[in-house]
Structure 1
């Protein structure tokens, strides 16, 4: 521009020429500055005072008197805070320090207490007595991590024992890791003893286990655990209680009475603890005399002088059904037979075993089968082991046809693995080929392992995501179930199963390379299982007797539709039957037509009546495509102990499907704070370690704070960089347009445009 523009304005006067060139040059300079994005920068140093919070536990476990001289934890906490007053007042001059209390959540300061005045009288933030029903350390820390961004240190004055319910049962250690990333340290000040209290006598029932479905006039095993504190050398009675007759609905209160002993049952036992604090496993049995739902309780008989008696009993509700389950099991002689026949020891399952040759031939013509074995209604389910289809032929009679007829009638069917089951056993030539949910390819030579149809070597059995929720695969509670299956010994080989295409079957367990091991299928009115394994006898051989027995019992109950109460057209079950206060009970419900088929479009009304008579209405939701016609609901609001009655009404097209289904569950009279009031200083130690803090004994807290008052923690300094951009001001475009516009106007006036 400096070279081409001046010659064009050379003929103008000197003043005009300089003005035009100056305007053009000023516009170019301004444009260049805009492209360089200039800004003004300045630095400022800010000082942040450390922010410290003292949190005092005011839950009911702080009333436990395990301090020196029989003082309660709360009395010690109050005295410690009072002794900290001088140090807190001095610290308040250099630090931002505040006090608060917590139990199930952080509590606001009392209205009459000023935050600054609390430093001179810290006990003013405390209530007269600790009354909190829960201790939610993790929940409170989580709240702090979200709300107090400037926090630098937290002093936790507590017994350290987490006693919280959803949604406040947050993992404290996980939250501490998040606080550590934000530079927050936790100082633990533990109160109380981490051992069981030894002063006084306390008897409690810690656990109760019984099958939710049992059968009348059959012996029912009941197990549990009782805890006895301060009763060494004495005798105590543990017994079963039940209703007689059972309650019929809300408001029908029936007092529990001791179960009467019958032949072969033991409903009571005497226990003798030998130490000051002891947990004793209990094994009892009883024989229910009538069918229906009944309340059953395990009780350690109260005695005079107990600290409390609300924990002497734990109750549940069981379903008593008429008759038992009969299963017919066909197999060759092998170790699996002996293990599976132990299912026959269950008082509600009768398993009859028929020995058959794997492959009948001239040397082994087979054992006689009787037509009476296949009479309609005689057996509820059939299990076929490592035997070929030909083993069911007796002359011209083929008993597979009779077996298939019983499955068509509704009997359950299961085929297990083996060298002669599924395809290798010739089952593709029988009517069962349409009932089994897997393909049946033929293998190699008879009674020989063939890699095309067999998985060789160790085969771990792993539940699928769907299988982990299935009744058959639940060997423990939901949290521990995966670990149990992981610990079970692997199967010694298995059959290769291939699912039939476009068949609504469920794969409950897989092996290597996700090969199906257990496949469930609803065939008409029957339930069918294809199980690739045949060596579950390895489980009890390795000490997993309970898991083995439970798996096979649940297989039988599922095959015979006995795992749920579906005797009526409308049904509802509750899991679990006894609930910890505050936790929801899970309901499963549904409706069936006259043919026993699920009614997927039924409309349900669900009412839950609490012990105080208050009625809550629930909304059902579909269980999912894997369980058509089955619905779920969660019953919350279970804070009060007692019986909760559930009533389900089903309608279709405005008409009732059948009578209302009624069941109930029990909320235990548990006291989370005081049933087991031992302190947990280990938790505080973990929180301090994770965050780089420390653990301070209560008696040393005043000196610890006084040291901080003499040498306050260093204030955090941060440098703040201020930037003032010069290129994005609103007037800069106007200036640029003004310069070029003025230059253009002057050139136009002089005839240059």
Structure 2
């Protein structure tokens, strides 16, 4: 059967009005030549012009011929079977697993399709010839969609990428075949139900899909929202029929203890106390005391008890502390011993790594009651130096004859290597503490006093034990200077090559950096430097600003102002501020000369879950702990076995980019759970190796599949309701397929559109008419 159809480009009234106007304009243009002409061809010319106009007007109606054809095409049923690890739970009748019931359901569906004369086909052989019956295409799914033949349980090669929007969702391919008597067990660590529905639909674009059958527990925990994807199926008229497996009540299957997180500092110094925190989820163990253990390299070093008051509760773990006696890379583990009745025991512990540093420098910053930005920016600058730890003590009340606000052990020998006094008056310490502070310097510690309203002479330091070790004379009336434009710090030309003053690899660059630093807001007036001291920096009018000396076994320094303005001015001045303070601390502690290059690899975390991102930073330092700007870097990760040895063929190069003198990169956790090591190598401009560094991290198995064992049957019912499908128990799938066969006739009518206006013959006719019209007009002399 054939019929004509039109699809005008606009309203009929507008098209009719336009047609009349164009025809009238055509007749108006030809009225004079027609009346005055004598050739009979003039009427043919006008007729051809009107035919050309009518062809244009007809194209505006976009006419088509619709031909109805009766075709025979088998209806396709896509069957998606959940193969995530939650399908291994044994909450079906008779203690059977969800997976066992799923396999049995698929076999019954297969038998039903064969009874009604259908077939099971692969994606490459979806039959389009005349045939009756249903065709079935089977897939396993978790975070991937894999073509599957239930009789052999063998995944087959598929082309195309996943349409899922998250990393890790891909197409799994394999050419192996397994015997149907030993099906591959569910191993998927996630269920991306929505993404897999969308991917199955994409692979069969243009095919006649009778239904999508999902055999699952509905526990979707990844990828696109299933209900959003269901709207696409609804728009296409494709029903989703769900076969629900498992119980939506947790029951005894839901009892579980999961250690979710361990939190600690990335580094700690030998003999310093390390604090560890964490979180534990307890489900089904209300009022049961849980012992949480902290293990260091597999040895229990601390423990605490927690108790959940409800059936499902997130608990915080605190008060776990440990002191390491030896340096090195250490593995920490937070663990809860498995309890009877737990569903899953693999999630009872979580681990990370940290670096225990030897020879680390401990710095005590003493601040008086006057507010200052100095401590904040000093700590920010020194945060890049893991071998320097800064503690702050803010004292506000004057000391009595025997006590002060300073902790009693703060001035014990060996506790701190360097003391920084920032705008700190003498009255806040007892006389005994002042003597202790001077003794620490005599015994090898370092001390720097910064300028301020309560510092030096105005701070009452002249008649104290500390005045003896300072590199300048101290007088109460010294005062300070605060000019409107600030004070420029000018390095002493003879001191530019001193370790503290070198802000670049050569003197010219260092001088340029000092000149670019902004002025400091003000400075204390320093009195006469002592004999044997060194003036390293002055004001433009040659008043001393930075003076240092060696005293006993220690070193002391005075800087007349504060440096925080340099940290805030620009990125370049912040880098100078960071380098200057690191060098000041190292010089005061007599740690300025190591003589060896060093490569430092820093990871932003040492334990991560699948799918998380690990960021890393690499830096090459010369013998004076100065970054080497022209260094190049390489890094790769490798998986380690139980003995800490590299697993062959698991090397993963890491893409790096330069950021100043550092190299940075990222690694996404997509491999097998376990222990990994990243090795970084630095080379100089000639390609010679400067050094290497390595760090381990743990890739933690993501147990989201078994963390909540309850089935989400409500989601499966919603998918069926939205798309016009059904929610079925497993034993009713065969009946559903037989009914679907009856309601999906193999023969159906298809309308094929043949456009009249949108083809080359129509265009050729239009050009021919215009050509003839022009030729005749030329012949009769109208052109």
| In 2: Cα distance, 1:214 partner to 1:707 partner | 69
Cα shift at 1:641 = 3.0
* DSSP 3-state at the match of 2:395: strand
- The one of 258, 264, 283 equivalent to 2:300 is 258
Against the structure 1 CA distance between its residues 652 and 717, is the aligned structure 2 distance closer, same or farther, given a 3 Å change threshold?
farther
Q: 2:570 — aligned with what?
A: 504
Matched, 1:192 2:215: no
| In 2: Cα distance, 1:501 partner to 1:668 partner | 39
Q: 1:77 — aligned with what?
A: 102
Q: 2:322 — aligned with what?
A: 286
| In 1: Cα distance, 2:343 partner to 2:567 partner | 64
| In 1: Cα distance, 2:117 partner to 2:457 partner | 90
Conservation of the 8 A alpha-carbon contact between 1:392 and 1:400 = no
Q: 1:56 — aligned with what?
A: 81
- The one of 268, 275, 300 equivalent to 1:214 is 268
Deviations, residues 353-379 of structure 1 (Å, cap 9, x unaligned): 13289xxxxxxx987478969989757
* Greater Cα shift, 657-666 or 221-230: 221-230
Conservation of the 8 A alpha-carbon contact between 1:591 and 1:657 = no
Matched, 1:29 2:50: yes
Against the structure 1 CA distance between its residues 51 and 140, is the aligned structure 2 distance closer, same or farther, given a 3 Å change threshold?
same
| In 2: Cα distance, 1:232 partner to 1:32 partner | 87
Conservation of the 8 A alpha-carbon contact between 2:138 and 2:150 = no
Q: 1:580 — aligned with what?
A: 609
- The one of 369, 393, 396 equivalent to 1:355 is 396
Conservation of the 8 A alpha-carbon contact between 2:214 and 2:242 = yes
- The one of 293, 296, 301 equivalent to 1:242 is 296
**TM-score normalised by length of structure 2:** 0.57
| In 2: Cα distance, 1:54 partner to 1:409 partner | 72
- The one of 142, 157, 166 equivalent to 1:103 is 142
Query: After the TM superposition, which residues 300-379 of structure 1 pair with which residues of structure 2 at under 5 Å, given as runs?
Result: 300-301=336-337, 309-321=345-357, 322=360, 324-331=362-369, 350-355=391-396, 368=427
| In 2: Cα distance, 1:312 partner to 1:140 partner | 31
Conservation of the 8 A alpha-carbon contact between 1:241 and 1:257 = yes
Against the structure 1 CA distance between its residues 179 and 201, is the aligned structure 2 distance closer, same or farther, given a 3 Å change threshold?
closer
| In 2: Cα distance, 1:427 partner to 1:58 partner | 67
Q: 2:186 — aligned with what?
A: 131
- The one of 38, 47, 65 equivalent to 2:90 is 65
Q: 1:531 — aligned with what?
A: none
* DSSP 3-state at the match of 1:198: helix
| In 2: Cα distance, 1:571 partner to 1:178 partner | 52
The CA RMSD over aligned residues, in Å, is 5.4
Q: 2:771 — aligned with what?
A: 737
| In 2: Cα distance, 1:400 partner to 1:300 partner | 62
| In 2: Cα distance, 1:190 partner to 1:607 partner | 45
* DSSP 3-state at the match of 1:108: strand
Query: After the TM superposition, which residues 722-733 of structure 1 pair with which residues of structure 2 at under 5 Å, given as runs?
Result: 722-725=754-757, 728-733=762-767
Conservation of the 8 A alpha-carbon contact between 1:369 and 1:392 = no
Matched, 1:639 2:664: no
* DSSP 3-state at the match of 1:75: helix
| In 2: Cα distance, 1:297 partner to 1:140 partner | 36
| In 2: Cα distance, 1:329 partner to 1:502 partner | 20
Query: After the TM superposition, which residues 409-428 of structure 1 pair with which residues of structure 2 at under 5 Å, given as runs?
Result: 428=521
**Structure 2: runs of 5 or more not aligned:** 1-29, 119-131, 154-178, 376-387, 399-423, 461-475, 483-487, 492-498, 502-518, 526-564, 582-595, 641-646
Against the structure 1 CA distance between its residues 216 and 178, is the aligned structure 2 distance closer, same or farther, given a 3 Å change threshold?
farther
Query: After the TM superposition, which residues 81-230 of structure 1 pair with which residues of structure 2 at under 5 Å, given as runs?
Result: 81-82=106-107, 84=109, 98-110=137-149, 128-134=183-189, 135-149=191-205, 151=209, 153-162=211-220, 169-180=223-234, 182=236, 184-196=238-250, 198=252, 204-226=258-280
Against the structure 1 CA distance between its residues 502 and 242, is the aligned structure 2 distance closer, same or farther, given a 3 Å change threshold?
closer
Query: After the TM superposition, which residues 15-26 of structure 1 pair with which residues of structure 2 at under 5 Å, given as runs?
Result: 17-18=39-40, 20-26=41-47
Query: After the TM superposition, which residues 451-530 of structure 1 pair with which residues of structure 2 at under 5 Å, given as runs?
Result: 503-505=569-571, 521-525=574-578
Query: After the TM superposition, which residues 557-706 of structure 1 pair with which residues of structure 2 at under 5 Å, given as runs?
Result: 569-581=598-610, 583-594=612-623, 596-611=625-640, 612-614=647-649, 616-622=651-657, 628-636=660-668, 638-654=670-686, 656=688, 658-674=690-706, 676-684=708-716, 687=719, 695-698=727-730
**Structure 1: runs of 5 or more not aligned:** 10-16, 115-123, 244-255, 260-266, 338-346, 358-364, 411-425, 433-498, 507-519, 529-566
Conservation of the 8 A alpha-carbon contact between 2:290 and 2:336 = yes
Cα shift at 1:71 = 1.4
| In 2: Cα distance, 1:574 partner to 1:720 partner | 62
Conservation of the 8 A alpha-carbon contact between 2:681 and 2:691 = yes
Deviations, residues 195-236 of structure 1 (Å, cap 9, x unaligned): 546259866533322222223222222223445678788876
* DSSP 3-state at the match of 2:194: helix
* DSSP 3-state at the match of 2:54: helix
**TM-score normalised by length of structure 1:** 0.59
Q: 1:513 — aligned with what?
A: none
Conservation of the 8 A alpha-carbon contact between 2:254 and 2:708 = no
Cα shift at 1:51 = 5.8
* DSSP 3-state at the match of 1:663: strand
Conservation of the 8 A alpha-carbon contact between 1:242 and 1:257 = yes
| In 2: Cα distance, 1:600 partner to 1:521 partner | 16
Cα shift at 1:683 = 4.3
Conservation of the 8 A alpha-carbon contact between 1:310 and 1:670 = no
Cα shift at 1:696 = 4.5
| In 2: Cα distance, 1:126 partner to 1:172 partner | 33
Cα shift at 1:73 = 0.7
* DSSP 3-state at the match of 1:24: helix
Against the structure 1 CA distance between its residues 297 and 277, is the aligned structure 2 distance closer, same or farther, given a 3 Å change threshold?
same
